Structure 1
Amino acid sequence: MATRIHIGVDGGATGTRLRAVDPDGRILGEGTAGPSSLTLGVDAAWAQIRIALAAAGIAEADHPDTTVACGLAGTGRPEKRADFRAKAPGFARLRLCSDAHATTLGAHAGRPGAAIALGTGTVGSALFADGGTRQVGGWGFPVGDEGSGAWLGLKALGEALQLLDGRNVEPSGGSALHRAMYETCGATAPELLSWTYQAPSTKYATLAPIVVRLAEQGDPAAVRLMRAAGREVDRLARALDPDGVLPFCAGGSLAAPLRPYMDPAITARLRPPQGDARDGAVLLARSLAPGEAWSDA
Structure 2
Amino acid sequence: MNYVFGIDGGGTKTICVLMDENTVVLGRGEAGPSNYQTQGIEKVKESIQLAIERAVLSANIEPRINLNIQAICLGLAGVGRPKDIEIVQFVVQNLQLTNTLPVTRSLLPRNIVICSDCAIALVGGTGHSVGITVISGTGSIVFGQNRQGKTKRVGGWGYILGDEGSGYDIAVQGLQAALKFYDGRSEFTVLAEKFQQHLRLNNLEELVELVYRSGWGVTEISALAPIVDRAAALGDRVADGIIERAVAELTFSTKTAIAALFEPTEEFEIVMIGGVWGGEANCWGRFESAISAIAPKAQVISPRYEPAFGAGLLALNALKN
State the match for 1:281 in structure 2.
311
Match of 2:173 in 1: 155
Alpha-carbon separation, structure 2, partners of 1:78 and 1:131:
18
Q: Deviations over 1:264-292 (max 9, x none)?
A: 1415731233222112101111116999x
Deviates more, 1:104-113 or 1:86-95: 86-95
Does the CA contact (< 8 Å) of 1:283 and 1:289 recur in 2? Answer: no
Rounded Cα–Cα distance in structure 1 between residues aligned with 2:8 and 2:32: 11
Structure 2 partner of 1:133: 151
- Tell me, yes or no, if the aligned pair for 1:284 and 1:290 is still in contact at 8 Å: no
Alpha-carbon distance, 1:163 to partner:
3.0
Partner-residue secondary structure (3-state), 1:135: strand
For 2:173, give the aligned amino acid.
Answer: K
Say which of 141, 144, 147 aligns to 1:123: 141
1:37-75 deviations in Å (ceiling 9; x for gaps): 22222211121111111111269xx89744210111111
TM superposition shift of 1:189: 7.0
Give the counterpart letter for 2:79 in structure 1: T
Deviations 1:228-263 (A, max 9, x none): 111011112101102453321212111233113326
The TM-score with structure 1 as length reference comes to 0.86
| Mean Cα deviation higher: 48-57 or 90-99 | 90-99
| AA aligned opposite 1:126 | G
**Residue in 2 that maps onto 1:181:** 195
Could you tell me which amino acid in structure 2 is paired with residue 278 of structure 1?
A
* 1:262 and 2:287 matched: yes
2:227 is the counterpart of 1:210: yes
Q: CA deviation at 1:161?
A: 2.5
User: Unpaired runs of 5+ in structure 2?
Assistant: 96-104
User: Is the 8 Å Cα contact of residues 125 and 135 (structure 1) preserved in structure 2?
Assistant: yes
Instruction: Show the counterpart of 1:193.
Output: 208
- Asked whether the equivalents of residues 180 and 186 of structure 2 are also in contact (C-alpha less than 8 Å), the reply is no
Q: Distance in 1 between matches of 2:180 and 2:151?
A: 41
Give the counterpart letter for 2:210 in structure 1: W
Alignment of 1:34-183 (within 5 A): 34-39=32-37, 40-57=39-56, 65-88=69-92, 89=94, 92=107, 93-166=111-184, 168-170=185-187, 174-183=188-197
Q: Establish whether residue 252 from structure 1 lines up as the match of residue 274 from structure 2.
A: yes
Q: Distance in 1 between matches of 2:12 and 2:3?
A: 26
- Separation in 2 of the partners of 1:19 and 1:46? 16
Higher helix proportion, which one? 2
Task: Say whether residues 1:220 and 2:232 are aligned partners.
Answer: no
Conserved? CA contact 2:113–2:318, under 8 Å: no
CA shift, 1:188, in A, is 4.9
Displacement after TM superposition at 1:27 (Å): 2.4
Other-structure match for 2:247: 230
TM-score (normalised: structure 2): 0.80
Task: Output the CA distance in 1 between the equivalents of 2:275 and 2:290.
Answer: 22
* Alpha-carbon distance in 1 for matches of 2:319, 2:252: 27
CA change 1:289–1:134 in 2 (3 A) is: farther
Taking the aligned partners of 2:31 and 2:189, their CA distance within structure 1 comes to: 41
**Identity of aligned pairs, percent?**
28
Structure 1 residue runs of 4 or more that deviate by more than 6 Å after TM superposition: 288-291
Contact in 2 for aligned 1:142/1:201 (Cα 8 Å): no
One-letter amino acid of the counterpart of residue 89, structure 2: R
Give the total of aligned pairs: 283
Report SS of the residue matched to 1:146.
Answer: coil
Could you say what secondary structure the match of 1:74 adopts? Answer: coil
**Superposition CA RMSD, Å:** 2.6
Residues 189 and 176 from structure 1, CA distance in 2 versus in 1: closer, same or farther, beyond 3 angstroms?
closer
CA contact under 8 A between 1:42 and 1:80: conserved in structure 2? no
| Matched AA of 1:215 | A
TM-superposed deviation, 1:108: 1.7
